[in-house]
Amino acid sequence: MVSTNPFFKQRFSATAALCLAAAISSQAVDLGTYKGCAANDGQFKQTLIFRGPEIPSTRDGNGVLKLAFVSQADASVDVYFIQKRGAVKRYNGKAGTVDSLGLITVDLSREEQGLIGIALRKDFLKKPEVFLMYSATEAGGKYSFRLSRFALTTDLSRVDNASEKILLKIPRESEDWHTGGGMVFDDYGDLWGTVGDNKKTEIGPGNTADLRGGIYRIHPDDSPKGYSVPGDNFGPHLSAYFTSKGNAALAAQYQDTAKVKPEIYVKGTRNAYTITVDPVRRWLAWGDVGPDQGKVSEEHNLVKEPVFGGWPYFAGEEDMSVSGGRFYDNIPSGTNNIPPGSTRAAPLNQEPLATGVKQLPPIREPIFARTTACAMTGPIIRYNGAVKDPGQMPPQLNRKWFNSGCDGFGFHMMTLDSAGEKVLSEQKVFPTISPVTLVDLKQGPDGALYYISWMTGIYRIAYTGACQDETLAAEKTGCAEPGASNYDPNLPKAFNDPRLCAGGTPIVKILRDAQWLRIDRRSISVSAPGEHEIEILDLKGRTLLTLKGHGPMSHEIPALPLPRLYQIRVKTSAGVVVRQLPLI
């Protein structure tokens, strides 16, 4: 049976788990040959870098949950990590010691609640801040998930609790399960994070006006709000989709921020407990823990655009109908959770308490689903010849996607097709390592693998073989669209990133609200003072026309082919505004 709660299946003692995970298998799995050098999974060494506490029970336990990395100038790697009861700690990669950085006050009244997520910017050493997600108790007996930013003291020895800046305060009910908490920064400075469904259905993951049961993407900054929102999140993306389908009324609903939270990137997840963003192609992947029904409902997902994942109506290959098996304890047995007329192609939310859009987009099927083990995603391995650490994963594993599960499932390596559309093969590796309740799996900046076993602690898996290639440069994204600014003719189209096709800067502040901008079918008016630049692009990111001016100023839109959907990008000193322009 699949565990609904990632912490409940404690089948082995911590001591037994340590013995089980002490060495890599002698029954080596062939990992292939690279430039005449053969590798197998017997050529790896596992090291316990932090021994976690024994776990007496879920609610009282203080296991390690999530980790993040800082690469030092000497190439050593510090591992920042959190424990459920509120501790923030750091493993010093050079000294091999652990520092306690502080304690966050968290709500521990229910099983999975506590300190549940941590992320660090890529430029942490220039601006030492830690981003944490935790369960909080609010005034009036209310509960929330908080996403907050904390500064560290100048000597990096403590988290300054008084510096807390709350970025998101997500209302929750005091339920046992499904917190989410996976978090990661990408190279743009965007922060991606998961929020569990809080044991709710249509008012959570099926509700576009609620952040529960989904994945958010924001861009933290120093504004009073603390962040801006990228212009191509769930709402704008689905508005463009329904516009292309000729449904202008539904497209308008997806542009309405009262009906669609602008921070949403993915909706329709159950408990996306782990998350990864491929550093090269910026594909988003997550593992979604499925319901306890022993069916094909444990999901591994990989997407390149905002999607609706299907929950609470569908899970993996299963429909959550009367015959779908166990759902939630507070929902009577035999309840059909699929509304009348709802299909995978056109799911409907008919719950009166859900204030979001009722007509949801077609669900995105998982790229891989199975029956067991609480799906936990890991990294898409990237080999970089410039990294000198001998423990870096070998070049044979470049582009391989690692996954695991929370119930002793072990490590599985998947090979993706070049487009990231399907899994070509799956292979179990390190077969004698069976982490008990794995809750995080990442590749460090040193190229090694790191994972957390809730039952035992933090581990580093390093390669010990001879396969290396200093000439194999790290892959990168860029602009591969002919005719666009920053076009790189040597870049494969598979590595095209539309956000790099105009402007050339990898981090752009996207402004969600701009009262100074007015766009209609015939003109674009900019009332803000100062210089501005307006680009009209097609949906492939190719610039069709550029207009420059000094505000306030109005520009006439030239004749464009009809019917078609265009993108308007307005650049000012304050940031960038992106809007869709449907001409029908």
pLDDT in tens, 190-203: 999 999 999 888 89
pLDDT value of residue 52: 87
Is the confidence at residue 259, as pLDDT, over 50?
yes
pLDDT value of residue 64: 94
Q: Which residues contact 582 (CB under 8 A, 6 or more apart)?
A: 243, 248, 251, 563, 565, 566
pLDDT value of residue 365: 93
Q: Helix (H, G, I), strand (E, B), or coil: what is residue 579? A: strand
Enumerate the β-bridge partners of residue 493.
none
Using CB atoms within 10 A of its CB, is residue 329 exposed (0-12), middle (13-18) or buried (19+)?
exposed
Q: Helix (H, G, I), strand (E, B), or coil: what is residue 569? A: strand
Q: How far apart are CA 378 and CA 396, in angstroms?
A: 17
The token pair that represents 204 in the structure block: 């959570």
Contact 421, 368 (CB under 8 A): no
166-170: list long-range contacts, CB under 8 Å, 24+ apart.
166/226, 167/131, 167/218, 167/220, 167/226, 167/227, 168/211, 168/216, 168/218, 168/263, 169/136, 169/138, 169/144, 169/145, 170/144, 170/145, 170/146, 170/195, 170/211, 170/212
Contact 208, 263 (CB under 8 A): no
pLDDT value of residue 231: 84
Closest CA to 268 of 328, 324, 206, 327: 206
pLDDT value of residue 11: 26
Amino acid letter, residue 129: E
The token pair that represents 31 in the structure block: 């990992």
51's torsion region: left (phi>0), alpha (psi -120 to 50) or beta? beta
Task: Provide the whole-model pTM.
Answer: 0.81
* 390 band by pLDDT with thresholds 50, 70 and 90: very high
Q: Which H or E run contains 234?
A: helix 234-244
Contact 301, 249 (CB under 8 A): no
The token pair that represents 235 in the structure block: 């709402």
Q: CA geometry: angle at 426 spanning 288 and 38, to 5°?
A: 135
The mean pLDDT value for 464-488 works out to 81
Could you tell me the domains of the chain?
14-463 (2.120.10.30), 477-507 (no CATH), 509-583 (2.60.40.3080)
Taking residue 455's Cβ as centre, other Cβ atoms within 10 Å add up to 29
* 9 band by pLDDT with thresholds 50, 70 and 90: very low
At residue 532, φ and ψ (nearest 5 deg) are -145, 160
341's torsion region: left (phi>0), alpha (psi -120 to 50) or beta? left
